[in-house]
Amino acid sequence: MAEKNRRDEDDNDRLEDEAIDDVVDDDADDDEDEDEPVSRGGTATRARTKADSADSRPKTMTETGRVGIFGRLARFFREVVAELRKVIWPTRKELLTYTAVVVVFVAVVLTIVAGLDYAFARGVLWVFGGSS
């Protein structure tokens, strides 16, 4: 069954050739449309016509698609709640286990750092002749 889903070398060569052809075709299309605006980012651009002057713009906030500060805050909190619903929360037993592992790890690292600090302090005092 895994053999059936596997690509062979011919498929890989064909996919690489198609990708190269697509790049070449895209470059050819760019030369033809020099007078049109080019989009360089993730947002769409469009050329303004004379009908899109300042007089013909919509006047209300709902027509422009702009949302006020409170609307944006409400949407933010709705998205936060939606993401928190997707979280897989640990059980009490898992939480206690993870907490114990973290506390033990921190204690071990703290002991190593304290030992190295003590050793270096004694070494510096020995080299520079501190009073004992």
Domain borders along the chain are 90-132
**21: pLDDT strictly greater than 70:** no
User: Which pLDDT does position 19 carry in this prediction?
Assistant: 56
Handedness of CA 44, 45, 49, 53 (dihedral sign): positive
Query: What one-letter code names the amino acid at 62?
Result: T
Average pLDDT over residues 16-26: 56
User: Which pLDDT does position 129 carry in this prediction?
Assistant: 83
Q: How many CA atoms lie within 13 A of 88 on its CB side?
A: 1
CB atoms under 10 Å from CB of 67, counted, come to 13
Residue whose C-alpha is closest to residue 73's, from 81, 65, 84: 81
Counting residues of the chain whose pLDDT is more than 70, the rounded percentage is: 50
Average pLDDT over residues 121-125: 93
pLDDT tens-digit series, residues 31-73: 555 555 555 555 555 555 555 555 565 555 555 678 899 999 9
Q: What is the pTM of this model?
A: 0.39
